[in-house]
Amino acid sequence: MNDATPAVEIRDLHKRFGHLEVLKGISLTARPGDVVAVIGGSGSGKSTMLRCINMLETPSAGDIAIHGETYAMRPTRDGGLEPADRRQLQRIRAQLGMVFQNFNLWPHRTVLGNVIEVPVQVLGISRDEAVARARQVLDRVGLAEKEDAYPAHMSGGQQQRCAIARVLAVEPLAMLFDEPTSALDPELVGEVLNVIRDLAAEKRTMILVTHEMSFARDVASHVVYLKDGRIEEQGPPEQIFGDPRSPHLQQFIRSIA
């Protein structure tokens, strides 16, 4: 594997929920260091696409490869696909980190407990080493003082920064952000975006589903506009936001400006 191997590669991804086809053939590549921002209206399928990357949603058709390794899939009785190899699934998932809209921290564990959980339980790192690393990443997201706090006793912004620290602690090949600021009070959005901005500047591979257009324009190396389950337009941020071609995208950008 060399640097040219895509961190995430999606080929002709389809997803159906019953008769509703949410994704209608999406192909997307994120190379190491890419920051891909995925934008689009609600119901455009952007979260579903992101959740297919770590198989929280299973594709109905299509291939997904993480750092060159394609998920082994097998057909299900209802005409969809499911992961065929649980060990492979767990191995690939452990190389990805997802930040959720609703944080999804484990409420019965402290901040430190949340951050060391995956390194210790999944990656098999010793507790001492995991704690040392956790303190570094907590320092990075500005939560060094909070390691003994429980999630419920923190603000939404702090919880989301803790969730980002939890992802950083596994040193993922790619970070997946699923609308990371949508559940936050407006005054807390900035602190989370600043952390993500710093990470983007470090050339970490990211796929970011977001409604924060000015942020996407700032940090993304590549912007993808989804409309009705298809990629309608993609390109560098200057082009997408400065010179959008498709009428839908023009209208979308006007509507949120």
Q: State the residues that interact with another protein by CB under 8 A.
A: 54, 56, 86, 89-98, 100, 102, 104-110, 117-118, 121-122, 150-153, 170
CB atoms within 10 A of CB 3: 8
- The least CB distance from residue 169 to another protein, in Å, is 10
- The least CB distance from residue 230 to another protein, in Å, is 25
CA–CA dist 96, 73 (Å, integer): 18
- The least CB distance from residue 74 to another protein, in Å, is 17
Give 98 or 216: the residue with its C-beta nearer to another protein: 98
Give 61 or 149: the residue with its C-beta nearer to another protein: 149
Could you please report the per-residue DSSP string of 92-154?
HHTTEEEE-TT----TTS-HHHHHHHHHHHTS---HHHHHHHHHHHHHHTT-GGGTT--GGGS
- The least CB distance from residue 152 to another protein, in Å, is 5
- CA-based R_g, the chain, Å: 18
Contacts of 110 (CB under 8 A, 6+ apart): 147, 148, 149, 150
Give 100 or 225: the residue with its C-beta nearer to another protein: 100
CA–CA dist 39, 199 (Å, integer): 19
CB atoms within 10 A of CB 145: 10
- The least CB distance from residue 164 to another protein, in Å, is 13
Give 180 or 244: the residue with its C-beta nearer to another protein: 180
Give 180 or 237: the residue with its C-beta nearer to another protein: 180
